[in-house]
Structure 1
Amino acid sequence: MELTAYTGQKEYARQIESYQLPDEQILFSGLPATAIKLAEGDPDKYPIFLVDDQQLPVFFILHKNEGVKPYTANDQAMLLRSFSTNFIYQGMGYAKTALKILDSYVHDHFPEINEIVLAVNAANQPAICLYQACGYQETGDVIKTEYGRLLILSKKL
């Protein structure tokens, strides 16, 4: 298994279009096809997939510079956003694997980054537990949105 930057690889198009999330999870993270379209043309957004035997069980965006500023004052931090596991792969440990190898991926591809931050809906207890099990800690900061309170979590690299 490895993390791979999405750069328009045509062999993944069918899997990206068929990536499934339950409605309540789409509310929290959105589908990869939508996030990829939003990332196009933005040099600070990096769509990433966990690839396992040519399958794409996990997707997320790494966002630096302006994207991370609402969440931390650290200009060497990177925001983890749109993190999700394709419904057919949920409960198989893929999300935890992706988060565990993310540190070395960031170190290899973004050596200037010393922190990963994320915002998670306070109602999304399974995600909060997963992030905490992978070393992320609540910063104590909360952002109120129309979808509820977002807790800010951080992991120093």
Structure 2
Amino acid sequence: MELLFYNDRFIDCIEKYTLSEEQLRFTGTPKECIDLSQADPERYSILGMDGNLLVTFFVLHKNEGVKPYSYNKNAILLRAFSTDFYQQGKGYAKQTLKLLPEFVKTNFPEVDEIVLAVNVKNIAAQELYKKGGFIDKGERRMGKKGELIIMSYHLEKVRESRNGEIKGDQI
């Protein structure tokens, strides 16, 4: 499995991507998100691909997108995270979250924190994010669809010790 930035060669995958009514209570469709990303240079539509199969989708949003959820100017917002309805229960969401920190460090080296907002009623997503390393520090906000739990994942900063050894630090 790999994470890729959206481009128009993936349009067929996007058109086949299915979300249930339950999923749509909490997230937007990839098509809507891609339209927003194409109009906003601070939004990046990301595809979780297993071979030629689109299994997960999300958006990374910098700067203005993060401001309602974090004061950290080096944070990025994870939003609109979903798994294709027909691919649920196969571990793809967990795999995506496992790949996410390295993807962010590689493509957004200035970022030291990934932030997300999850609806208090979306228990399954909360559990998934916790298993993926996101922490709930008790922050809450009101969103369009109800109360949101703000969660964050602090990326390790790689530093060199005095003896030349490379060490990772949790921020």
Q: Does 1:45 align with 2:43?
A: yes
Q: Aligned AA for 1:5?
A: F
What are the Cα deviations for residues 98-152 of structure 1, in whole angstroms up to 9, with x where unaligned?
A: 0000000001000100000000000000000000001101121111234221000
SS in 2 for 1:3: strand
Q: Does 1:4 align with 2:4?
A: yes
Q: Aligned AA for 2:77?
A: L
Equivalent in the alignment of 2:88: 90
C-alpha separation between the residues in 2 aligned to 1:145 and 1:77?
A: 19
Equivalent in the alignment of 1:110: 108
SS in 1 for 2:136: strand
**Deviation at residue 29 of structure 1 after TM alignment:** 1.0
SS in 2 for 1:28: coil
Q: Aligned AA for 1:8?
A: D
**Deviation at residue 61 of structure 1 after TM alignment:** 0.2
What are the Cα deviations for residues 49-94 of structure 1, in whole angstroms up to 9, with x where unaligned?
A: 0111111000000000110000000000000000000001000000
**Deviation at residue 46 of structure 1 after TM alignment:** 0.5
**Deviation at residue 153 of structure 1 after TM alignment:** 0.3
Equivalent in the alignment of 1:131: 129
Provide runs of 4+ in structure 1 moved above 3 Å: none
TM superposition score normalised by structure 2:
0.88
C-alpha separation between the residues in 1 aligned to 2:129 and 2:143?
A: 21
What are the Cα deviations for residues 21-40 of structure 1, in whole angstroms up to 9, with x where unaligned?
A: 11121121111011101111
Equivalent in the alignment of 1:25: 23
Equivalent in the alignment of 2:153: 155
**Deviation at residue 41 of structure 1 after TM alignment:** 2.4
**Deviation at residue 16 of structure 1 after TM alignment:** 0.6
CA separation of 1:4/1:138 partners in 2, compared to 1, >3 Å: closer, same or farther? same
**Which has the larger displacement, 142-151 or 78-87?**
142-151
C-alpha separation between the residues in 1 aligned to 2:87 and 2:22?
A: 17
Percent identical among aligned pairs is 47
Q: Which runs of 5+ in 1 are unaligned?
A: none
Q: How many residues align?
A: 155
SS in 1 for 2:99: helix
C-alpha separation between the residues in 1 aligned to 2:48 and 2:17?
A: 13
